[in-house]
Structure 1
């Protein structure tokens, strides 16, 4: 039991460190080849921050634990809004960029509805995975076009001073850390599910989902300190879109995701959509383009209530 706890924590640490190392080395490599900051922000950063969810989902489905793979994404999307973003709102009032509402939020709703539709037959097959990844490409192209004149979110990036050989060493190391971390984390999660007699669905929605949301939480806390919360909602919306399109898409191409727990289809997926929909309402109420601590308190309370239903 103690050894499994150590493996669980170690796996999570390896995932977080590996994700951060992948992000930094990928950005350095892109800058070496003069890739624009916009492309870095829309692709590399998004993929790197979704790496823990992706590796855990792939590892889970290969171990015939599809419920962990699916509930990991659903739970992570819920936690990003109900936990990470709500905590940010408790500290500061956030000004919402109009671009987040005009461009990103409609994509989140459409992608979430597509996810619900595909899950109606209790599985996500390879064809649907291809559809998700194709939509992901369209989303990136669309985002690139509508943000062709935007680059302020990555203005702190300059040319890379890291040697090419060092970059590739870091990339290889990050891959090893991510793979090892996902294996340890998934194996430990399955152990605890069996040990405590809870379903893989509950483990995926709680332990795994919160674990993979820690990088977003850390980033948000740093943003609070730097008073840069105006871009945090965009990052969270983008992360939730990538979780569905990239994580579910790529994982289901590798192997069909077959759902065992009926609660995922009848309850959890709709809770995920409800959090996204409520977020859209809060964009305009009580004041347009501003969100306050009362919003954060509501989201956090709803999140805790949802977790209470899982007990």
Structure 2
């Protein structure tokens, strides 16, 4: 019970910290004259991915490497199957051309890259499968390219389409909230990793399963909240763009940083999750190009939700 309370307290601190950090950093950037579109594409995007990043850095530093991979892949699966599935059942999601032709294929490419980096036994005849620090640096280079692309596209497009609301904080208040937000992230991340590892040990679950389920769902709550609010306001492109962008962030940036902190051995069981991630990314691409033009329908959303439930049942049956 104590570990469950630690986990819940960790999620609360993590989400509070991410929210305050985004608000304060956005307000400070606005006062310093940073364009609104750049704030949305960088600070806000980093903020929604901060929970996964902090948890993974702690997990990598503590040598809980199964949780590192589980959190990244689990978050990506939850983002597409659960969040997009739920959002599409609320209201069909229409996708912009840039998202269709560039970001969704890039998300699929990221999923394939993980498979290639993890397949040392197959490709190199190595003794173990491991994503090394040098491969983590390659992932970060991919991320740098994606970030530059986003900023260039944003500055060259219509900024009104990507309007980002910012708080009107003073400089002092912004700095204080940034410090408070970072403290919330650090404390929350530490509590989550400690609680999750202890729960896994108490219930006889693997760190991989805990990372794929409880931890990944908890750290994806900012994306869930952002997407549902966007769909309810009929800002449907923000909903799908938020999820696809988060998936790219998770692999290129968060997995990249995690493996630079500590090389990540790949559990043979994790290949099921990696293949599932590839299949999910491919299915999203297929759904966008079938039926109505560049749209994720309610029926396709239901299919995503059913697939996620089936995947959870498969995970439980493997334990």
8 A Cα contact 1:129 1:250, kept in partner: yes
Tell me by how many angstroms 1:48 deviates.
Answer: 1.0
Tell me by how many angstroms 1:143 deviates.
Answer: 2.2
1:88-131 Cα offsets, whole Å, 9 max, x none, are 11111221111111221121122221121111122221111111
1:64-109 Cα offsets, whole Å, 9 max, x none, are 1101011100000000001011001111122111111122112112
1:184-208 Cα offsets, whole Å, 9 max, x none, are 1111100111111011110000011
**Inter-partner Cα distance in structure 2 for 1:235 and 1:177:** 23
Which residue in 2 is equivalent to 1:208?
215
Provide the TM-score with structure 1 as the length reference: 0.95
SS of match in other structure, 1:187: helix
Correspondence list, 1:292-303, <5 A: 292-303=297-308
Q: How much is the aligned-residue C-alpha RMSD, in angstroms?
A: 1.3
Which residue in 1 is equivalent to 2:126?
none
1:17-47 Cα offsets, whole Å, 9 max, x none, are 1111111111111111111122212221111
Which residue in 2 is equivalent to 1:20?
19
Give yes or no for the alignment of 1:91 onto 2:82: no
Which residue in 1 is equivalent to 2:257?
250
The aligned length equals: 307
Tell me by how many angstroms 1:136 deviates.
Answer: 0.8
State the 4+ residue runs in structure 1 displaced beyond 4 angstroms. none
Q: Taking structure 1 as reference, are residues 49 and 63 closer, same or farther at Cα in structure 2, changes over 3 Å only?
A: same
* Selected match of 2:309 from 298, 304, 311: 304
8 A Cα contact 1:282 1:295, kept in partner: yes
Tell me by how many angstroms 1:153 deviates.
Answer: 4.1
**Inter-partner Cα distance in structure 2 for 1:68 and 1:153:** 37
SS of match in other structure, 1:262: coil
Correspondence list, 1:111-190, <5 A: 111-121=110-120, 122-147=129-154, 148-157=156-165, 161-190=168-197
Correspondence list, 1:44-123, <5 A: 44-121=43-120, 122-123=129-130
Which residue in 1 is equivalent to 2:204?
197
SS of match in other structure, 1:198: coil
**Inter-partner Cα distance in structure 1 for 2:72 and 2:150:** 22
Q: Taking structure 1 as reference, are residues 174 and 303 closer, same or farther at Cα in structure 2, changes over 3 Å only?
A: same
Q: Taking structure 1 as reference, are residues 288 and 193 closer, same or farther at Cα in structure 2, changes over 3 Å only?
A: same
Tell me by how many angstroms 1:231 deviates.
Answer: 2.0
Unpaired segments ≥5 residues, structure 1: none
Which residue in 2 is equivalent to 1:5?
4
8 A Cα contact 1:82 1:303, kept in partner: yes
**Inter-partner Cα distance in structure 1 for 2:164 and 2:114:** 35
**Inter-partner Cα distance in structure 1 for 2:159 and 2:259:** 33
8 A Cα contact 1:97 1:231, kept in partner: no
Which residue in 2 is equivalent to 1:284?
289
Which residue in 1 is equivalent to 2:37?
38
Q: Taking structure 1 as reference, are residues 179 and 94 closer, same or farther at Cα in structure 2, changes over 3 Å only?
A: same
8 A Cα contact 2:75 2:216, kept in partner: yes
8 A Cα contact 1:132 1:245, kept in partner: yes
1:243-271 Cα offsets, whole Å, 9 max, x none, are 01110111111111123x21102x11010
